[in-house]
Amino acid sequence: MKQNQTDRKAKVWNSVIILLSIAGLIVCIAVLFPQTRQMIMNLVNHFLGRELGMFQSWSNFLMSLAMGGVFLILFFDYCVFTNSGRTLVRNVKQEIKDCVSEIDFRSFRKPVLLLSGIYFLGIITIIRANYTYLDDIGRSIEGLRGWYNWSRYISEFLSIFIHADANLTDISPLPQLLAVLILSVSSVFLVYVVGNKKITVIRLLASIPVGLSPFFLECISFKFDSPYMALSVWASIFPFLFVARKKAFAFVSIISLLIMCMTYQATSGIYIMIVIMLGFQYWNRGEKTNKEILSFIGTSAFAFCFAMLFFKFFLMRSFDAQQSTYISNTTYPMAHIIPGMLTNLKNYALIINHNLGVIWKTGIALILIFFVIQSMSKSVHKKISSFFISIPVLFLSFILLYGIYLLLVVPIYSPRALIGFGVFLAVISIYIVSDLKLVATITVIALNWCFFTFAFSYGNALADQGRYIEFRRTIILNDLNVLYSSEQKKAMTFQIKNSIDFAPTVKNIAKHYPVIEKLVPKGYEKYRFWEYYYFPDYIQLDYASDHFSNKNYVDYDTLNLPVVLDSYYHTIKSDGSRVLIILKH
């Protein structure tokens, strides 16, 4: 009797799944037609009350999404209706359960609290500075999210819940505190994975570069983006908790890597780097056979390539450098991929080298040397073999840290795009403090103390820069008020040339820590058009040329306008209808 009822329920569910699959396939196939995509775009525009713009880009994205939907529906039906599919699902589910049951998550509580306290203390001056950082200006003034433009759909979706509204408002420091929590969990997971499931205070302290490296400080500075950037780091580390089971590891890796792609793609190299370091550790200590190591690397490579290709063909919105003004997700064609990658790699290495201070470089060089020495001392193979393999492992890990950005025609080199370097340092540091050698441990703690104190300097520098920009903006407005009445200003158009330079405190820090000039924004830099929103509405600033490619734009600096005021901080030129403000450094 019970068997008959079970069979009837199974038939009903199968029928429902078939009907839903057919309906889903019909919808996806319909979206492949241009007329359907046009109708969808019209409905979306009507619902939002504004034009999304770039119709062709959105149309292509909808077509890719529909093709991805067809793939997922067919794969789901395969898992439900075929014996091999059902077996695969059962195996993956069981392996995930086995992995979870082997992890004592309660043991993570105190380590997470410890690192949360350290990370929070490290960013306290950034929070206190209350600096509205780059894109934060536009989000806080207009309430727009816009992460979907960069294919960061999870960021787009989660922001609605975090801000409790579809319209963004400044709720800092809540997002930054969430980022601290996510980073703490990520660091603990990294210690657990690299430290062979042993968590100690020294290893936790060694993991500090994950959240307090100079490069991740830019991420934590964003009042709106920071939790999603931290989530991408977590997603790159999380799969390695399941490394003991092949199918579970592959499945969790694919899902986690897709989460990474839909939060912040700059962390794409972290997963690859951890695979290389773990593979080397397995070989060096004889923990796995060569066959098992190759299987691990092969599974990781499959998961990574599958996730990246799925994201590229079914989820990624295409844009070029002209649309985004500073980055493109267009990859090099096959004929130019090698020289293109070498160019990107050269720029990536030079920028990291330039941004690091002498003390940091010394500390990093020492921990790299300790890594090679410890690899030789702990190796079950010949020391010479370990030596000649450990060095290429370091180079390869460093190179691949840049992830998919190596393939881009126009990559980004801002500090936030180099956040994988902090994880790289954390992995090496955790590895070399594991045997509690005093010299290596002191070196790691000293380097991390430098990062910790620099975070304080950076936060205070942000506060000083904010006050300096406000001071310069105030004297500009005062001089304009002296020169022109409100009615005159309404009939004028204004342009600003140059930018507001760094505050004196920032220049002082830059003497020893060049990265500060990349972290702290100047005032009114090119493409930072959001900053113009702080001027009164009656001042019509003409900044459209660079960001919106306005062909009718006229550069006032070419008009030889007469000087009406020349001060220590700026020069104002005007012919009565056009005003050029030339900022001085």
Give residue-wise pLDDT tens across range 72-118. 888 888 888 888 888 988 999 999 999 999 998 899 999 999 999 99
Structure tokens at 530: 């959001």
SS3 content of the chain, % helix, strand, coil (to 5): 70, 5, 25
**535, 476: one domain:** yes
Kindly state the DSSP code that residue 578 receives in the 8-state scheme: E
Residue-wise pLDDT tens digits, 316-355: 877 654 444 556 778 888 888 899 999 999 999 999 999 9
Same domain membership, residue 272 and residue 385: yes
Nearest to 281, CA basis, from 430, 447, 102, 105: 430
Return the pLDDT at 365. Answer: 95
- Taken in order 114, 116, 117, 122, the sign of the CA dihedral is positive
Q: Phi first, then psi: what are they for 572, rounded to 5°? A: -115, 125
- Closest by alpha carbon to 425, among 390, 451, 454? 451
Residue 476 domain-assigned?
yes
The verdict on 157 and 76 lying in the same domain is: no
> What range does the domain containing 315 cover?
105-436
- How many domains are there within the chain? 3
Q: Are residues 164 and 303 in the same domain?
A: yes
Do 248 and 125 lie in a common domain? yes
- Which is nearest to 498 in space by CA: 472, 523, 532? 523
Of 292, 255, 249, nearest in space to 100 by CA: 249
Q: Would the pLDDT of 362 be above 50?
A: yes
Q: Are both 478 and 424 inside the same structural domain?
A: no
Q: Are 65 and 318 in contact (CB under 8 A)?
A: no
Whether residue 223 sits in one domain with residue 317? yes
- Residue that has been written with the tokens 């990474």 in this structure: 260
In a domain, 575, yes or no: yes
- Do 54 and 118 sit in the same domain of this protein? no
Lowest mean pLDDT among 10-19, 249-258, 461-470: 10-19
Q: How far apart are CA 28 and CA 16, in angstroms?
A: 18
Query: Cis peptide before 173, with omega less than 30 degrees from 0?
Result: yes
In a domain, residue 461? The reply is no
Asked if residue 290 and residue 186 are part of one domain, the reply reads yes
**What pLDDT does residue 12 have?**
78
Residue 333 lies in a domain: yes
Give the three-class secondary structure for 49: coil
Is residue 460 domain-resident? Answer: no
Residue 457 domain flag: no
Q: Quick one: 136 and 202 in the same domain?
A: yes
Would 479 be classed as within a structural domain?
A: yes
Q: Quick: pLDDT tens for 171-212.
A: 999 999 999 999 999 999 999 999 989 999 999 999 999 999
Q: Cα–Cα distance between 100 and 238 in angstroms, integer?
A: 12
Place of tokens 């390539």: 305
Q: How far apart (Å, rounded) are the C-alpha atoms in residues 524 and 143?
A: 21
